[in-house]
Amino acid sequence: MKSRRPGLQGKWAYVVNSLQEIVPSYEAASSRISLFQDGRMRAEAASFAARRGDLVLDLGAGPGTMSRVVEKAGGEPVLLDASRAMLRASGYTNAVQAVFERLPFRDGAFDGAVSGFAVRDAHDLPAAMAQLRRVLKPGGRFAFCDLGKPDNPVRALALALYIRVVPSVIGLASTGRSGLRYGSLFDTYNLLLHNSELTALLGRCIGETSIHEMQMGGAVVAKCVSGARGAA
């Protein structure tokens, strides 16, 4: 049987449409779902990937939360998202509507790249990471924070139960019936690679990779250096 390529694949349109319906509550509800660890995780990713004066691509930028962290680190963010509604909500003008698998930038255009809770939403993860490596300078740094899927099956099941229930409840409390769209998070979790598999894929597609696991492996901060092969 042919193995399934990592990424949302046929679930992609459903997840993107769900995100567009929750723009007003996105930041607050996402913070609650992460047990208020999102700020710490974003700061760790940005401090690795962004240096003062760097041009930094923000993949899946949403309403610009990660880009503001990049600015604090001294970088100049360029926002990219598939959702025009999300980009409008960001307030940034240097924003591009596009998908991860077809980045409309020249080779080596960016010093660094970041992503906050969005890499899991790639349609085709290997293709997206190959595109990212193309637009990074050699030695460029990429870091992202996101959901993790522990290799330990008991922990993975416990996290699945949490994601099956809690995001929908938080979404409903935050914004009414439209908040039930946070239930799409469960679909993305089911399609995630386990943390060790994600580390290996990033190593193959981008370069030297390490992953900092938090919350028993249910949250990760991944750090990659473009072109430095072999450490994964």
Is 41 within 8 Å of 145 (Cβ atoms)? yes
Contact present, 141 and 30 (Cβ < 8 Å): no
pLDDT score of 232: 35
Q: Higher-confidence residue: 230 or 170?
A: 170
CATH says 9-226 is which class? alpha beta
Better-predicted residue by pLDDT, 71 or 20? 71
Q: Judge whether residue 24 has pLDDT over 90.
A: no
Q: Spell out the alpha helix ranges (H) of the chain.
A: 12-21, 26-33, 38-49, 65-72, 84-90, 125-135, 153-175, 184-191, 195-205
**pLDDT at 1 (0 to 100):** 36
Residue 193 has pLDDT above 80, yes or no: yes
What pLDDT is recorded for position 36?
A: 76
pLDDT in tens, 81-140: 999 988 999 999 999 999 999 999 999 999 999 999 999 989 999 999 999 999 999 999
Residue 164 is predicted with a pLDDT of 87
pLDDT score for 29: 65
Q: Where do the domains of the chain lie?
A: 9-226
Backbone dihedral region for residue 71 (phi beyond 0: left; psi -120 to 50: alpha; all else: beta) = alpha
Under a CB-based contact definition with an 8 Å cutoff, are residues 131 and 108 in contact? no
Band (33; pLDDT cuts 50, 70, 90):
confident
Please compute the mean of the pLDDT values over residues 134-158 and round it to a whole number: 96
Tokens of 83: 């959702």
Model confidence at 200: pLDDT above 70? yes
Mean pLDDT of 41-58: 97
Neighbouring C-beta atoms of residue 30, cutoff 10 Å: 22
* pLDDT at residue 133, rounded to an integer: 97
CA distances (Å), origin 33, targets 26, 42, 97: 10, 15, 26
The single-letter DSSP state of residue 183 is G
The whole-angstrom separation of Cα 195 and Cα 211 is 8
Write down the pLDDT at residue 5. Answer: 81
pLDDT at 35: 76
pLDDT band at 176 (very low <50, low <70, confident <90, very high): low
The residue-averaged pLDDT of 18-46 equals 76
Q: What is the pLDDT of residue 174?
A: 64
Give the pLDDT mean for 57-80.
Answer: 96
